Amino acid sequence: MTADHALIPAPLLVRRPSTPGAVPLDERTTLDAGPGTESAARGLRTALGAATGLPLADGAGPHAIRLRISPEVEREHGPEGYRLTTEDPDAAVLVEGGGPAGVFWGTQTLRQLLGPEAYRKAPVTDGKWELPRITVADRPRFGWRGLLLDVSRHFLPKDDVLRQLDLLAAHKLNVFHFHLTDDQGWRIEIKRHPKLTEVGARRSRSKWGHRASPLWDDTPHGGFYTQDDIREIVAYAAERHITVVPEIDLPGHAQAAIAAYPELGNTDVVDTAALTVWDTWGVNPNVLAPTEAVLRFYEGVLEEVLALFPSTFVHIGGDECPKDQWKASPAAQARIEELGVGDEDGLQAWFVRHFDRWLAARGRRLIGWDEILEGGLAEGAAVSSWRGYAGGITAAEAGHDVVMCPEQQVYLDHRQAPGEDEPMPIGYVRTLEDVYRFEPVPPGLSPEAAAHILGTQANVWTEVMENRARVDYQVFPRLAAFAEVAWSTLPAPDERDYPGFERRMETHYRRLDALGVDYRPPAGPHPWQRRPGVLGRPLEGAPPIV
């Protein structure tokens, strides 16, 4: 199989001339970058220069890799669309994009066409580098093609995050949902509230496996990103045309913050001063108190977050907020009466609406998990539909923008196969084929509602992923299938050519090998990828469509 038949995600159009041939890249090859293509040129020079050893000096001419922004491509394929051809008489290869991002995605295709060795950090062969005679025209189906990475349950060092961004870029994914706070750890420096990281960024131990497991990892766990780390991550992502969407969880999933600042909790029903950063998994009962002081505290947090993240969207969580403490709290009950919100669901909606208005006044948009629909949703808010399709359908039909990420389909912490060898098996079996047949737009959605589906993302929750290798195992190769779902124009799920995708994956596995990705092999986990004796929570049968 030749490399040009193994493009992932599959492009809209591939045309080959009747007479096959190849275009060499060698010491004569230059880089001719037009205005607006600077990030793509830097990426090519860094990646291909390292893998090939070629200097790729600036220069035009028949041996150049020519990068251009094209109004024609923008009209036909939009700002993220591109056209790549090795049939141009004035260049070795011409990559035209509808905008800077389109050029960048075109260079990702160029890299794939050069073969798996183009993904190495230094040359491993003295062989020839060449591109097939080919023209590729392409554009994405969705504008939001995302991956959520949870660094609260298990912290990943900055360099691992940067590597994850490289892997997203290689798969033409353009949103990185950065889950930065939760009960088990606060991972972002907030200068006006230093205890959030001094206290909230570390826990004394961690549950080993599912929360029902009797096992513990007694190694203290912690870490956080300084504001300079965040600036670096955001800039690194922007260079790859990836938007970083931060998530600051409220009013639930807040024990790490309450452990750092006990006054944030419901002090009239819980001794919040005795709380520590949570060391196990699940839904935590300790939620924020509905006070003006708590609002001011989180406004201060978000002021620093907005200064670091240019993303239009800011995720505030809003999920899994138990109401027991509010029901038992005289202060919370008085607040419900004072605000006239009816009940505890209304109190949660009040939290969400407050921050929706607060963000909107600063030119940003709130997005939250589908629980924010309960009690009424603010007009400008968007929804991440995680509990199934239903929340997204309800939101879209009501005119709200939606990102589809149903747990039954695209939670990559769920196990990849049945059997005893899957490490700490969580949830339903979601095979590579299952992910490939995921459809983000539910059938029967009205055209007006379907227009509110911004796109889709896969979510990676790290309770049982203690390091980069475990994240790699859970995410890959399924992220390749998800990327094709998010980017490519595919037929209905049952009509998709999964055998053809599997054949293309034979080459893609070699790309992942070159990148050092510890993916799950098709035949099952390597012995060192297993976790014998560590309890998971497998769910049997096919996941429900809800």
Q: Which of 87, 117, 279, 320 is catalytic?
A: 320
3-state helix/strand/coil string of 341-396: CCCHHHHHHHHHHHHHHHHHCCCCEEEEEHHHHCCCCCCCCEEEECCCCHHHHHHH
Q: How far apart are CA 114 and CA 95, in angstroms?
A: 14
Distance (Å, rounded) from C-alpha 388 to C-alpha 397?
Answer: 15
Residue 397 appears among annotated catalytic residues = no
Q: Is 315 noted as a catalytic residue in this protein?
A: no
What residues have CB less than 8 Å from 39, skipping those under 6 apart? 100, 104, 239, 240, 241
Q: Is 182 a catalytic residue?
A: yes
As a whole number of angstroms, the distance between CA 170 and CA 111 comes to 9
Q: Which one of the listed residues 96, 182, 247, 472 is annotated catalytic?
A: 182
Q: How far is CA 503 from the centre of its chain?
A: 26
Task: Determine the number of helices (DSSP H) and then strands (DSSP E) in the chain.
Answer: 18, 24
Q: How far apart are CA 235 and CA 59, in angstroms?
A: 27
Give 233's contacts (C-beta < 8 A, 6+ positions apart): 158, 161, 162, 165, 178, 225, 244
Please give the Cα distance from 247 to 252 (Å, whole number): 13
DSSP state of 34: P
The CA distances from residue 191 to 74, 440, 527, in Å, are 42, 39, 44
- How far apart (Å, rounded) are the C-alpha atoms in residues 226 and 144? 27
Catalytic residue selected from 210, 221, 241, 253? 253
Q: Which residues are catalytic?
A: 182, 253, 320
